[in-house]
């Protein structure tokens, strides 16, 4: 028996924080690739501390629904899971390349725990950003005549956060699909506030590399970009700012295709998931091309 455990931050204040985690867990549960699919949270329940004891299977794949390698993936989650002999060096990562380690956990010593790198740094995440652009523009072929901005926190708290943004921006640039691709940040240059300064294209899709919608993606970024003076009054998609149509996508983590990245992480760690990847890629598509 094999189980998937998705661990995420969660919130004491915002019920939407855990929504993407539950949605992706449900998507994966429906394709039947795992005998069990469980979720665990830093701020909600079951806590990461207790999630492993809710699992029956003896092979457990733990995938962090986090954007970058750092404090949570390297310290908090391994500590709370009680991974025996965890050493971040075992990931042998340059800040982007953590794949998985196989350990035991003292909480459930009879089980094997495959602890995976975060979803945000997986190469499949690039496709989710593009899919998010397709979803928000309702155009499965969006690219021509469009600029794309990938938005992150910046390096203030974690230098790997910017690495992940640059990595995906580069990969999308190499696809040669969008006229322009730019990485932007909330707390450093190039800043998302000045989004229109960085693009010549009239249409710009802005995709924040965040797991869930919350304060940053629903309040800060829309106001900073000038989509609205007050987030509570909402904004149109697209909104015209300084002569550019800004297609603001909201948190990339809410895109259904994120379930694919979770599966990729578990498969990289050795999970047997059959044709689940193909099924999930099609089921999570919302643009007209594949509408059913």
Partner 1 sequence: MGHHIDALVDAASEDGVALDGLRVTHEDDGYRLETPEATRDGLSAADLADTLGDYDDYATNWYFWTNVVGESSPQRRAFLRWVEGADEHAVPERYDALRDGIRREWGQLLVTVTVDDHGERSYDLRHVDDGDHDTSALDEYHEPLAARQLATYDENGRYRPLKTGANLAGGWVFPELDGRDLVETVGTFYPASVPNWYREREGTLDVEHWEDTIGRQTGMYSVVETWNRGDGHEHVDWVAEACCDDSQCVKRREWQYNDETDLDVDGGDGAFPCREPCSLVIAASRKWTRLEGEETRTYEFELTPSEKEQVEDIIEAVADGRVDDIREADVYEGANRYRTRFLRAKLFDDDGNLCGVPTDDE
Q: Does 54 bind partner 1 (CB under 8 A)?
A: yes
Q: Does 138 bind partner 1 (CB under 8 A)?
A: no
Exactly one of 43, 171, 173, 283 binds partner 1 (CB under 8 A); that residue is 43
Exactly one of 56, 92, 159, 166 binds partner 1 (CB under 8 A); that residue is 56
Q: Does 88 bind partner 1 (CB under 8 A)?
A: no
User: Which is nearer to partner 1, 22 or 215 (by Cβ)?
Assistant: 22
Concatenated DSSP letters of 219-271: IIHHHHTTS-SSGGG---SSEEETTEEEEE---GGGSTTHHHHHHHHHHHTT-
Exactly one of 50, 188, 197, 200 binds partner 1 (CB under 8 A); that residue is 50
Q: Does 75 bind partner 1 (CB under 8 A)?
A: yes
Q: Does 32 bind partner 1 (CB under 8 A)?
A: no
Specify which residues 147 forms β-bridges with: 180, 204
User: Which is nearer to partner 1, 72 or 91 (by Cβ)?
Assistant: 72
Shortest Cβ distance from residue 52 to partner 1 (Å)? 9
User: Which is nearer to partner 1, 13 or 89 (by Cβ)?
Assistant: 13
Q: Does 159 bind partner 1 (CB under 8 A)?
A: no
Q: Does 104 bind partner 1 (CB under 8 A)?
A: no
Q: Which of 210, 230, 222, 219 is nearest to 246 (CA)?
A: 222
Residues 63 and 124: their CA atoms lie apart, in Å, by: 14
User: Which is nearer to partner 1, 42 or 231 (by Cβ)?
Assistant: 42
Exactly one of 23, 88, 104, 107 binds partner 1 (CB under 8 A); that residue is 107
Q: Taking the C-alpha atoms of 14, 73, 260 and 35 in order, what is their torsion angle to the nearest 10 degrees?
A: -90
Shortest Cβ distance from residue 50 to partner 1 (Å)? 4
Exactly one of 13, 109, 232, 275 binds partner 1 (CB under 8 A); that residue is 13
Binding piece for partner 1, criterion CB under 8 A, among 40-48, 171-179, 191-199, 282-290: 40-48
User: Which is nearer to partner 1, 190 or 214 (by Cβ)?
Assistant: 214
Binding piece for partner 1, criterion CB under 8 A, among 6-14, 189-197, 237-245, 275-283: 6-14
Interface positions with partner 1 (CB under 8 A): 11-15, 22, 26, 42-47, 49-51, 53-54, 56, 71, 75-76, 79, 107
């Amino acid at each position: 028996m094999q189980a998937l455990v998705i661990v995420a931050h969660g919130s004491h204040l915002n019920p939407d924080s855990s929504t993407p985690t539950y949605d992706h867990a449900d998507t994966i549960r429906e394709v039947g690739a795992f005998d069990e699919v469980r979720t665990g949270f830093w701020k909600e329940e079951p806590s990461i501390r207790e999630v492993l004891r809710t699992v029956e299977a003896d092979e457990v794949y733990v995938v962090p629904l986090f954007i970058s390698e750092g404090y949570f993936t390297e310290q908090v989650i391994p500590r709370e899971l009680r991974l025996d002999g965890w050493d971040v060096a075992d990931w042998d990562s340059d800040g982007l390349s953590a794949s998985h380690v196989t350990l035991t956990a003292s909480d459930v010593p009879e089980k094997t725990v495959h602890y995976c790198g975060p979803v945000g740094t997986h190469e499949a995440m690039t496709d989710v950003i593009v899919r998010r652009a397709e979803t928000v523009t309702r155009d499965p072929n969006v690219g021509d005549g469009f600029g794309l901005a990938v938005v992150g926190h910046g390096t203030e708290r974690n230098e790997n956060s910017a690495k992940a943004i640059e990595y995906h921006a580069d990969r999308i640039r190499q696809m040669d699909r969008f006229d322009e691709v730019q990485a932007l940040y909330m707390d450093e240059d190039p800043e998302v506030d000045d989004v229109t300064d960085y693009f010549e294209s009239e249409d710009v899709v802005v995709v924040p590399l965040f797991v869930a919608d919350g304060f940053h993606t629903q309040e800060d970024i829309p106001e900073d970009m000038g989509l609205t003076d007050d987030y509570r009054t909402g904004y149109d998609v697209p909104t015209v700012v300084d002569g550019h149509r800004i297609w603001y996508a909201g948190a990339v983590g809410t895109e259904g295709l994120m379930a694919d990245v979770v599966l990729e992480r578990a498969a990289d760690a050795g999970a047997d998931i059959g044709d689940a990847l193909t099924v999930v890629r099609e089921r999570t598509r919302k643009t007209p091309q594949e509408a059913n």
